[in-house]
Amino acid sequence: MKNKKTKIKVELSRRDFLTVAATAAGSVVAAQALTTGPLSPFSNLKQSQLEGVESSAANAKHIPRWGMVIDLDRCIGCEYCLRACSATNDVDPQRTWNIVVPEKTSNGRSFFFSRPCLHCQEAPCVEVCPVKATYHREDGLVVMDYERCIGCRYCEVACPYDVRVFNWQDRPEGNPFIPTWGIAEVERRPRGVVEKCTFCIHRIDAGLKKGLTPGVDRDATPACVNICPVGARTFGNLNDPDSPVSQLLAQTATIRLREELGTEPNVYYIPPKEGL
Amino acid sequence: MATATLERKPSKLSPGFLAWLAFIGLCLLIGLVAAIQVFTRGLVITNMSDLVPWGLWITVDLSSIALGAGAFTLSAVVYLFGIKRFQPIVRLAVFVGFIGYTSALLTLVMDIGRPDRFWHPWVYWNVHSVLWEITWCITIYLTIMLVEFAPVVFESRFFNRWPWLRTIAHVAHSLAPALAILGLMISLLHQSSLGATYGIVKSRPIWFKPSMPIMFILSAVAVGPALTMSVAFIAEWITGKRTVPHDILRIISRFSGLGLLVYAYIKFWDLAAVTYYGRTPAVSQALTMLSDQTPYNFGFWFGEIIIGILIPVAVFLLPNYNKKPLNLVFGTVCAMIGVIVNRWNITVSGLFVPVSYSPGTMYHLPPGQYFPSLVEWAVVLGIIGYGLLMLTLGIRFLPLFSEAKQQGRG
């Protein structure tokens, strides 16, 4: 009995051992890649939900999360936001990034509904883009690399909020909203790429460098927020409990659009007082 | 090409063949003119819009990839399951698959807004994107098909002057079983991911379901081999030479018939689940809208079910019908129409249903409207011309059907 056992051990020792070891090592690497590594379907989830919980308390003010609150009761449907945005970002006036439309509650009372990009934390457009031309910045903004976009329009198909606009042709003509509603602060996008609302990142980034607070200092705040004559839009850092936007969220009941899709938008709406 | 023609017997060009070449040339010319228009003036000359950003071209992409599925199916039958009887059709299957995949890539290059950046998915990775995965799979699979097919090309007399090419070709040939397994894996992945492209879009009610990838791959596996079979028959009629033993072709038709039955079975339960057991308000609304305003139901019942499934199943499986090659080719055409109508119905109808996101009751985006423009049809005509040209040249100049003989000679 004893002899036999030792013999088996010896036989196993070379080639088989190597095979087993290699298989085991390979499996570990594969498992690692598939569960916590870059191939994991949960890697998005982990970053934003698991680490986010720990780090949000510590880094509250260091890594901001930009968000917006839109008060549907205040909006008067003047479309100033749409025009200022079109001028500032040089957007086609026929197909603007912001929309403003008349709406009705279920009781038949009228109100106005406006919509920028909602900058979802679980953005379908980011998931589907084959080249990462659309991506999440560290501060939660969903932005585009117009140099990288191949114009496949999958993001346009996947966006639940109809936010995205494709450049079907060159746009040589001028923008009628310039200079009345502002001047172009960013370059016009070329033909063949998709474009979208950026929450005016050029203002946020430049403002932060100058030590300004986006949402408080006008130079660092999106054009649509600045122009609103009734203050229906509030912008700021959702990770900073003292920011105006966090204060408003803490005091008021808000909703988000199509919550059931799990897109976790960073834009909140204050519904009309009597309900939707 | 000219050299190859010269090396063969001097001109065997019948008037009929010349007319055929002229027809192909016309298709290609029309396609080329349209393509230049699209590249210079942009996608604005198509009828696609922000509401319906995908249209005829995506339908053609999906269909031609599905129709190219005979390549991996039949390769797997021979090299993986070891059924060597089917060896004589593998070359043709890979060739037809190659044409299908390259047609899809050509159409895709037309469809993207920045064709100059077609290579971006290879460099900038988004491993979470199905479309990225599909691009990679199609690229890899196209390479596999090229390697699988290289021996066939290098066997033609034209390459006699470079014997080392032949050596490479023989190495490639010995890799065939490994390539077939790899090809099978890659194909199973991307053929179904094409369905997932739609199935994962949660904001689109009639797309968002897990059955999408399964139905895509089943229809591809069923119809792809049938197309290969029909091409073999047609090649036989034109060249007057026996290409592939008829009993093999008839077995393939029976396989396709059974495949279509499985597809029909899944489709039936999908229909039951979507419209009955698992009905949601959004899906009901979408289907009502589609049946009121578009020929969605007609396309589904007549195009997909009757033409695409019932007729081919009857022709492929009933012993009264499946003896005549002409019937089998007719059945294949029906099945192909079924696949194309299915891909069209999914793509375009899914986009016709507008997304709804406003919290109120009044504002809804208008339903999408789309019918392909002349330019879009012209590009598709060009793509068809490309496919026919490749087939014609392949049947005329490549040893698609004579592996044994060629090896004996070489």
B183's enclosing H/E stretch is helix B176-199
What are the C-alpha distances in Å from B283 to residues B2, B195, B277, B304?
A: 57, 18, 12, 20
| Residues A159-217 pLDDT 10s | 999 999 999 999 988 899 999 999 999 999 999 999 999 999 999 999 999 999 999 99
Is residue A224 within 8 Å of residue A211, measured between CB atoms? no
Q: Where are the alpha helices (DSSP H) in chain A?
A: 2-12, 15-35, 43-45, 52-58, 80-88, 124-128, 154-158, 201-209, 223-227, 244-251
Tell me, what's the pLDDT at B327? 95
Residues A265 and A139 reside in one and the same domain: yes
Task: Look at residue A40 and tell me if it is in a domain.
Answer: no
Residues A16 and A113 reside in one and the same domain: no
Decide if A101 touches B, using CB distance below 8 A: yes
Judged by CB atoms closer than 8 Å, whether chains meet at A150 and B117 is answered as yes
| Structure tokens that stand for B35 in this block | 């393509």
What are the C-alpha distances in Å from A166 to residues A273, B188, B342, B369?
A: 36, 32, 26, 17
Chain centroid offset of residue A216 CA: 21
Choose from A129, A145, A152 for mutation: most chain B CBs within 10 A.
A152
| Structure tokens that stand for A146 in this block | 């117009």
Q: Indicate if the pLDDT at residue A37 is higher than 80.
A: no
Domain B25-354+370-409 architecture:
Up-down Bundle (1.20)
Question: Which is higher by pLDDT, B248 or A59?
Answer: B248
Residue A12 pLDDT level (bands cut at 50, 70, 90) = low
A68 beta partners: A235, A267
Residues A11 and A81 reside in one and the same domain: no
The answer, as to whether pTM is greater than 0.80, is yes
Residues A30 and A103 reside in one and the same domain: no
Choose from A75, A112, A117, A157 for mutation: most chain B CBs within 10 A.
A157
Tell me, what's the pLDDT at B406? 41
Residue A15 pLDDT level (bands cut at 50, 70, 90) = low
Query: Over pLDDT 90: what percentage of chain A?
Result: 74
Question: Which is higher by pLDDT, A113 or A13?
Answer: A113
Judged by CB atoms closer than 8 Å, whether chains meet at A127 and B129 is answered as yes
Task: Look at residue A224 and tell me if it is in a domain.
Answer: yes
* Other beta carbons within 10 Å of A54: 9
Between CA A150 and CA A155 the distance in angstroms is 11
Question: Domain total for chain A?
Answer: 2
**In terms of Cα–Cα distance, which of B218, B160, B140, B189 is closest to B3?**
B160
Between CA A205 and CA A194 the distance in angstroms is 22
Q: What would the DSSP string read from start to end of A199-243?
A: S-HHHHHHHHHTT--BTTBGGGS-HHHHH-TT--EEEEETT-TTS
| Structure tokens that stand for B85 in this block | 């009887």
Tell me whether strands A99-104 and A110-115 are parallel, antiparallel or unpaired: antiparallel
Task: Look at residue A8 and tell me if it is in a domain.
Answer: yes
Task: Look at residue A56 and tell me if it is in a domain.
Answer: no
Q: Which of residues 108-127 of B touch A (CB under 8 A)?
A: 111-114, 117-118, 120-121, 124-127
Residues A25 and A152 reside in one and the same domain: no
Judged by CB atoms closer than 8 Å, whether chains meet at A148 and B204 is answered as no
Judged by CB atoms closer than 8 Å, whether chains meet at A132 and B125 is answered as yes
Residues A153 and A31 reside in one and the same domain: no
Task: Look at residue A173 and tell me if it is in a domain.
Answer: yes
Judged by CB atoms closer than 8 Å, whether chains meet at A130 and B126 is answered as yes
Residues of chain B with pLDDT under 70: 1-12, 402-410
Establish how many alpha carbons lie within 13 A of residue B22's alpha carbon, considering only the half-sphere containing its beta carbon. Answer: 7
Task: Look at residue A55 and tell me if it is in a domain.
Answer: no
Tell me, what's the pLDDT at B405? 44
Residue type (1 letter), B324? K
Chain A closest-CA separation from residue B57 CA (Å): 12
Q: Which residues in A lie closer than 8 A to residue B359 (C-beta atoms)?
A: 72, 103, 113, 255, 257, 269, 271, 276
Task: Look at residue A194 and tell me if it is in a domain.
Answer: yes
Task: Look at residue A244 and tell me if it is in a domain.
Answer: yes
Domain ranges within chain B, ordered by starting residue = 25-354+370-409
Residues A246 and A129 reside in one and the same domain: yes
A70 beta partners: A233, A269
Q: Which residues in A lie closer than 8 A to residue B355 (C-beta atoms)?
A: 159-162
Between CA A148 and CA B185 the distance in angstroms is 30
Tell me, what's the pLDDT at B379? 97
Burial level of B273, CB count in 10 A (0-12/13-18/19+)?
middle
Residues A107 and A160 reside in one and the same domain: yes
Decide if A103 touches B, using CB distance below 8 A: yes
Q: Which residues in B lie closer than 8 A to residue A191 (C-beta atoms)?
A: 42, 113
Helix axes B163-174, B130-155, angle to 10 degrees: 130
Q: Which of residues 185-214 of B touch A (CB under 8 A)?
A: 197, 200-204
Q: Indicate if the pLDDT at residue A96 is higher than 90.
A: yes
Q: Which residues in B lie closer than 8 A to residue A258 (C-beta atoms)?
A: 203, 357
Tell me, what's the pLDDT at A52? 46
Range of the domain at A242: 62-270
Q: Which of residues 3-32 of A touch B (CB under 8 A)?
A: none
Average pLDDT (A127-156) is: 95
CATH number of the domain that residue A174 is part of: 3.30.70.20
- With CA atoms as reference, the chain B residue closest to A126 would be B129
Tell me, what's the pLDDT at B294? 92
- Cα(first)–Cα(last) distance of chain B, in Å? 21
Residues A140 and A175 reside in one and the same domain: yes
| Residues B92-106 pLDDT 10s | 999 999 999 999 999
